[in-house]
Amino acid sequence: MESPTSSSFAGQKRKIVDMSSDEEDARPPTGFRGFARASSRSESPPSFGLGSARRNPWNNNMQSATAASRGGNANTSKPITGGGNSFAARMMAKMGYKEGQGLGASGQGIVTPIEAQARPTGAGLGAVREKTKQAREEEKRQAAARGEVVEDSSDEERRRRRKKKEERQRESRSGTGTPVPRAKPRFRTAREIEADMDGLEVPNVLKSLIDATGKEQRVLTSTAGLMTPLEFVNQGEGEALKIARRARHDLEAFADEWKGLTERKKFAELEEAQIVEQLDTNQLKTDQLTDLITAIGQLEIFEEDSTLARFDELTSKLESIEMKYRGEIDEYRLSETAVAAIHPLFRQAMEDWDPLQEPTFLVSNLRRLQPLLSRKKNDEAVSRQATSPYETMIYTLWLPRVRSALINDWDVYDPSPATSLIVSWKEILPNFVFANVLDQLVVPKLSGGLKEWKPRSSSRRHPSSHQGSRSPWWLFTWLQYLDERHTNPRQPTGLLSDAKKKFREILKSWDLRKGLISGIELWRDALGSEFDVTLRNSLLPRLASHLRDDFEVNPQDQDLTALEDILKWKGFFRPNVLGLLLVAEFFPKWHKILYIWLTNDPNFEEVGEWFTWWRTQIPAEINELAVVDDEWNKGLQQMDLASRLDDPATELPVPNVAAQSAPAEDVPRAAPEAPAPSRKPKVVEEIAFKDILESWCMEQGLIILPLREAHPQNGQPLFRITASATGKGGVVAFVQGDVVWVQNKKAKDIWEPMGLEDRLVERAEGK
């Protein structure tokens, strides 16, 4: 016999979706029913929490329920806790567990065992609630212990929203909403209708409508209350009421129809005016197009036979068309028409044209037609995907002829024909064609000519260039037409950058006894600020060497040639630069001769005249410098001291200047401090040349890195010159004098002298 608990589920087939959450928690997951435990048998340890996962806690609950329904022992109605006398209960009690509390040291664990819930056969995930009521209550209890609130599940939230929606619907059906007021009808009198409808004549009989709704008949002046039903009127009054209503309806219908007809009449008149205006416009355009077709037909008729005369005649006709139809050029696409008319004559003219001999051929004609040929639309000026007909004509007919002439017939050392061609056509050429001529034709030609140009040799190889010119003036002529890449000498590549390298070669090989380099002013104008840097790095060391090696101070037979060679360059150096050069190379020699003269029974009048004469040989702007004036004062002090000494030969001290070591017989033995400063000029020279080397490496795009090592023989510091950004590769070198000594890659103990030239750049780049 089945128990009452399970009888409610027997023989029933209900849809899973119709089950409520309470029914899901109350019913067993399957139809299986457990057996009741014998009352005399001691309870076994609980199946939860101790590893016996095979037992189903639902069976225990079912057993308890079954026992209760049969009237079993009263203890079965209590929650099963495993029994107070079981082994597991006793062991947990020894560990500090108290019944009714959660597991764990602080009671944060679960209180009741985990309840398993099985889904019905054939039901998938989500068909029933996966969490049992016991699990949800356990979550709420643990959240309350932590001071938190557990939100309801999505199903409960959805059920709550559905309930609120049903309540709102019931409230709306209860009639508590605000009713919408009905619009009141508005009636007009005959006079109001006549005033509103302009041009409508209302008959007098309709103007004096009789109000028969009351006891007395009155003239109707207002339609207010006309539609109010009156039940107390008699039959005659009812007929009058009907007549009044019928007259009012007819009058309003007539008024509305009149208003509609009036509006239609106005619209028809406006439409008629627009059609007439459109017809007049079309007739004007027809006449205009007829005249335009006639004018375009005249473009094919010529009175002359020569190409140039026909082109002049065609230009005049196109100018007339442009002036007459200036506002319709874009509408009628007259630019394309003009190009189509010019194209045959232009192609014939290009076949016989020599660009270098006649650079201005057809330029005036095309310049006159630019408003018509090069016309751009508003959107075309911003972005354009294809070339215009005029640009296509120039690119296909003009450019090939110019390319052939510049490549085959143009002498790069005679720029005047090509520059005349570029200047004449610059304004009428499309931008991309002009850039193509410069980048693809002129620049490669100039680059090749610059490579062939040898600044060390004479310019007689090129008869068209200036005789004896040491500057590529033919290149400088083009700088005003080229972009910054070729006109900025600081760029790593470009025409002017290559020309600067040639200029350095000229400065290194120039014979200083010949004076200034011819065309040096052109170099200054072209290089700008880089001109001073190049002179300081390449020419100044040579001037110092020339003054040091080729100049001597000799009071008996003074030769000023070397000094004059130096002073010729004063216009290209700042005064302080030449002043420092004289202090380093001239005044040591001058002080030395002055000291020798003063220690050998001098004539002070002759010494004074000699001193005054030397001051006049140096330019005034250099004498005014403080460093130069100090040197002259040192000489005066020496002369004054020698005039006051009894024996200047033994008592006069050697001047303390950074001079070269003098011969042993010329230096008195009484001056022990003389040999000390003999090595100073060399040290200063090495430091100065090292700065020059660093500047040169920066110009060439090279990196100079110290190695913190020294040469094993001479002790000079070593450094690496490389073109790699990582600092690897390149060559190992050291500086001695004005020469860079580079280590041989194959034989490490061999050092090769090398100047600041292209060969060093190639070695640094690993070539």
Predicted confidence band of residue 692 (pLDDT cuts 50, 70, 90): confident
CA distance 562 to 547: 6
SS3 741: strand
Cβ contacts of 320-325, under 8 Å, gap ≥ 24: 320/295, 321/292, 321/295, 321/296, 321/372, 322/369, 322/371, 322/372, 324/295, 325/288, 325/292
CA distance 476 to 499: 10
Q: Report residue 341 as tokens.
A: 């008319």
User: Does 315 have pLDDT greater than 80?
Assistant: yes
Q: Report residue 381 as tokens.
A: 């000026």
Alpha helices (runs of H) in 455-518, residue ranges in sequence order: 473-476, 484-487, 495-509
Q: Phi and psi at residue 745, in whole multiples of 5°?
A: -70, -35
Predicted confidence band of residue 462 (pLDDT cuts 50, 70, 90): very low
Percent of the chain beyond pLDDT 90?
A: 19
Q: Report residue 605 as tokens.
A: 């009048």
The dihedral over CA atoms of 741, 747, 750, 755, expressed in degrees to the nearest 10, equals -30
- The answer to whether the CB of 193 falls within 8 A of the CB of 256 is no
CA distance 455 to 466: 13
CA distance 556 to 287: 105
CB atoms within 10 A of CB 106: 9
CA distance 703 to 721: 6
CA distance 560 to 590: 13
CA distance 176 to 248: 40
Tell me what the mean pLDDT of segment 396-422 comes to.
92
Q: Phi and psi at residue 717, in whole multiples of 5°?
A: -65, 140
Beta bridge partners of 705: 720
pLDDT at position 556 is 86
pLDDT at position 153 is 62
Tell me what the mean pLDDT of segment 150-174 comes to.
74
- Point out the least confidently predicted range of 69-83, 100-114, 408-422, 432-446: 69-83
CA distance 480 to 466: 21
CA distance 83 to 99: 10
One DSSP character per residue, 208-268 reads S-EE-SSSS-EE----TTTT---SS--HHHHHHHHHHHHHHHHHHHHHHHHHHHHHHHHHH
CB atoms within 10 A of CB 79: 11
CA distance 733 to 718: 6
The closest alpha carbon to 614, from 635, 597, 599, 596, belongs to: 635
One DSSP character per residue, 592-609 reads HHHHHHHTS---HHHHHH
- The answer to whether the CB of 495 falls within 8 A of the CB of 446 is yes
Tell me what the mean pLDDT of segment 29-39 comes to.
40
CA distance 293 to 461: 61
User: Does 458 have pLDDT greater than 50?
Assistant: no
202-224 tens-digit pLDDT = 666 556 554 445 555 455 555 55
- The answer to whether the CB of 553 falls within 8 A of the CB of 590 is yes
CA distance 279 to 290: 16
SS3 of 72-128: CCHHHHCCCCCCCCCHHHHHHHHCCCCCCCCCCCCCCCCCCCCCCCCCCCCCCCCCC
User: Does 107 have pLDDT greater than 90?
Assistant: no
| Residue found under tokens 């490496």 | 697
Tell me what the mean pLDDT of segment 310-335 comes to.
86
pLDDT at position 179 is 58
DSSP 656: -
User: Does 176 have pLDDT greater than 60?
Assistant: no
pTM value is: 0.51
- Mean residue pLDDT of the chain comes to 75
pLDDT at position 737 is 72
535-560 tens-digit pLDDT = 888 899 999 999 999 999 988 888 99
Higher pLDDT, 65 or 442: 442
C-alpha dist (Å) from residue 641 to 5, 609, 614, 662, 732: 139, 17, 20, 22, 52
User: Does 614 have pLDDT greater than 90?
Assistant: yes
The closest alpha carbon to 632, from 684, 586, 564, belongs to: 586
CA distance 635 to 641: 10
User: Could you tell me whether strands 703-710 and 218-219 are parallel, antiparallel, or unpaired per DSSP bridges?
Assistant: unpaired
User: Could you tell me whether strands 731-736 and 210-211 are parallel, antiparallel, or unpaired per DSSP bridges?
Assistant: unpaired
pLDDT at position 210 is 46
Q: Report residue 376 as tokens.
A: 């751009």
- The answer to whether the CB of 244 falls within 8 A of the CB of 187 is no
259-309 tens-digit pLDDT = 888 889 999 999 999 999 999 989 988 888 888 888 888 888 888 788 888
CA distance 338 to 348: 16
